[in-house]
Structure 1
Amino acid sequence: MATATYPPPPPFYRLYKDYNENPKSIPERPPPIEGTYMCFSGNYTTDDVLPSLEEQGVRQLYPKEPNVDFKKELGSLNRELQLHILELADVLIERPSQYARRVEDISLIFKNLHHLLNSLRPHEARATLIHVLELQIQHRKQAVDDIQRRREELQKLLMESLGTLAGQ
């Protein structure tokens, strides 16, 4: 039984048959999706909002202020996590049957750390974009300087060549 190596093109390819003669004949782009949409049996939203810990059913261990000192709170949660891990090791040695509460506490701390880090993602993306743009500007300035330097060298070489031709 023989089968085709590649599947046939999708039927909408016919919409682009006159593209070579008239590039403006292609259909308009569909409008961007807003709100919720379904993809691969999962519901997604275009709203980029980080749900609060209370909305997720998790107790928040750091202050609920709008201006949180991320560095201080992450350090505090990290120290608390270290303490709970040491307590878990102690409980596992002394009373192995009572480990569940310590694991729940550690899980709660990890969820709070994760939420704090996720709330920093927009700032990280902005800083990364600024850094990439600054690098591009630096590379372009170096390229312009290199072109100007080579132009000056070429003009100097051209003047020397004209001088030797005039001297002959």
Structure 2
Amino acid sequence: DYEHDPASAPDPPPPIQGAFPLFGATYTTDVVLPTLEDQGVRQLYPKGPNIDIKKELRSLNRELQLHILELADILVERPSQYARKVEDISLIFKNMHHLLNSLRPHQARAALVHILERQIQRRKQAVEDIKKREEARRLLKESLQIVDGQLR
């Protein structure tokens, strides 16, 4: 019985290492974001580890706005030539999406730090509450002893 003997439960399976199939697709346990080139997509922002993601996202966003306005003009003036502009917009979206995905590990770390800081804060508050209640209990006990002593 697990409630009386927790060791009686079976051990969990070992963690999966390397590649594994899931619903017909092959995945890996490596946490690596494939490059745009690996995905067959042209990269519109500079390559390298030290790019300013915020600046590049702003630049891509301005470019996206321009392309959407151009698409509106094309749809009015030359409706048959819209496909190229839609491909350009799709490329910009893919680049923006890739930049945002590259921020996910940082976002996860920041969220974890925030959660842990809140846990520490709640635990410190709980300790303070316990100390206050203990002090109140002690004062009440002393007061009752004084009242008992005066009544006798």
- TM-score of the two chains, using structure 1 as the length reference: 0.83
Match of residue 10 from structure 1: none
Which whole-Å CA distance do the structure 2 matches of 1:19 and 1:152 have between them? 40
Secondary structure of 1:38's partner?
strand
The CA deviation at 1:154 is 1.2
| Identity, % of aligned positions | 66
Matched length: 151
Match of residue 24 from structure 2: 41
Query: What is the root-mean-square deviation in Å for CA atoms of aligned residues?
Result: 1.9
| Gap runs ≥5 in structure 2 | none
Instruction: Compare relative contact order (CA 8 Å, sep 6+) and give the higher one, 1 or 2.
Output: 2
Which whole-Å CA distance do the structure 1 matches of 2:137 and 2:3 have between them? 44
The CA deviation at 1:28 is 4.7
The CA deviation at 1:144 is 0.9
The CA deviation at 1:30 is 3.3
Residue 36 of structure 2 aligns with an amino acid whose one-letter code is L
Match of residue 123 from structure 1: 106
Secondary structure of 2:30's partner?
coil
Gap change, CA 1:166 and 1:19, over 3 Å in 2: closer
The CA deviation at 1:161 is 0.6
Secondary structure of 1:32's partner?
coil
Q: 1:166 aligns with which of 133, 138, 149?
A: 149
Which whole-Å CA distance do the structure 1 matches of 2:66 and 2:143 have between them? 76
- TM-score of the two chains, using structure 2 as the length reference: 0.91
Match of residue 149 from structure 1: 132
Match of residue 35 from structure 2: 52
| Gap runs ≥5 in structure 1 | 1-17
